[in-house]
Amino acid sequence: MSAADVPMPTRVRLIHGVLQRLAEQAGADVLHIKGPAVAPEIMGTSTVRDPITHEMVEVVNDRDSSDADILIRPEHVDRLLVVMHRAGWDFKTSFAGSSAFGHAMNVHHPTMGNADLHRHFPGLDRKAFETLWADRGEVELGHVSCPVPSVTGQRLLLLVHAARSGPDHPDRDRAWGRASEYERTQVSALAERLHAEVGLAAALGNLEQYRTHREYLLWKSFGERHPSRLGEWRARWRAADGPVEKARVVAMLATMDAGLLEAELGRPPTSRDRVKRALRRWTTLGHEVRALLRRRRSR
């Protein structure tokens, strides 16, 4: 049986359960995030008929995920990757190559499907895992008990993620719009502890309060409906804290990740694909650089 034969919501729940079992084998701490791991308090519930007992039961509303997301304790990443590789998972991208944040890698199992492994979460302190882990709860996925962030932690993750996903993301309403004043206060307090105030402000439309913050342009760029690639890279450069982080941004701008390209094409990229992609990227940036220079000259 292939992944395509299993309904998507069922498949994603199975993947969460499988990843949890593999994490236990590896001795790795992981938190299950997004998708079916999100608490009913946030997603809301509906009443449906149980397929086995035929009784009416409350079920959590579906979040339309096509892959499973987990956040791994950073120092446990390598041991989990070893066990996953042994269990037949392919690594479609590297952490460094999947995004300019280097925060997640895409993995694929030929019969199970896809998952995103996060080693940190953009917008949150890189040491956030420990705080989220200390306040964790549990949810059953694939009949496996899976650790999840506290409901407050989930709200914050969803909001910061929504701020990176362009305007009008439904998680803004789920995680904040429907929350009580007390719950909102808790989210703001956690954001402060995890240095996520700018991301949270971006999610809530209050980004202008942080106009002088080094992350301001970055979050502004994420919130735009059609962000320019040049603007995005300038924002990433400005947000990078210190020479090491800035050097990393330059390195990512200058290189292209073959794994990511393969994930996009659905097949191993040829030399021609790599050249075409590299040219397209530099061409796009080139056009934007020329437009920027023209605007400056005309002032």
Partner 1 sequence: MRWKRHPQTVWEVSPDDVVHAVRADKGVIVALEGWGALIWTSDEPDVEALVAELATITGEDAATIDAGVRDFLTDLEQRGLVMTDG
Determine which residue in the list 31, 68, 81, 144 makes contact with partner 1, applying CB under 8 A.
144
Instruction: For the CB of residue 90, give the shortest distance to partner 1 in the complex, in Å.
Output: 11
β-pair partners for 32: 70
Is residue 263 helix, strand or coil?
A: helix
Q: Is the dihedral of CA 237, 241, 243, 249 positive or negative?
A: negative
* Residue 14 engages partner 1 in binding (rule: CB under 8 A): yes
Those residues whose C-beta lies under 8 Å from the C-beta of residue 94, and which sit 6 or more positions away, are: 105, 257, 259
Instruction: For the CB of residue 54, give the shortest distance to partner 1 in the complex, in Å.
Output: 10
Is residue 289 helix, strand or coil?
A: helix
* Residue 56 engages partner 1 in binding (rule: CB under 8 A): no
Determine which residue in the list 61, 66, 111, 283 makes contact with partner 1, applying CB under 8 A.
111
Q: Which amino acid is at 250?
A: V
Those residues whose C-beta lies under 8 Å from the C-beta of residue 242, and which sit 6 or more positions away, are: none
> By C-alpha distance, which of 135, 128, 83, 127 is closest to 107?
83
* Residue 52 engages partner 1 in binding (rule: CB under 8 A): yes
**Candidates 64-72, 83-91, 164-172, 213-221; binding stretch for partner 1 (CB under 8 A):** 83-91
Determine which residue in the list 47, 58, 143, 225 makes contact with partner 1, applying CB under 8 A.
143
**How far is residue 219's CA from residue 239's CA, in Å, rounded to a whole number?**
9
By CB under 8 A, the count of residues binding partner 1 is 28
* Residue 153 engages partner 1 in binding (rule: CB under 8 A): no
- Chain contacts with partner 1 (rule: CB under 8 A): 1, 3, 5-7, 9-11, 13-14, 17-18, 21-22, 25, 48, 51-52, 86-88, 109-112, 142-144
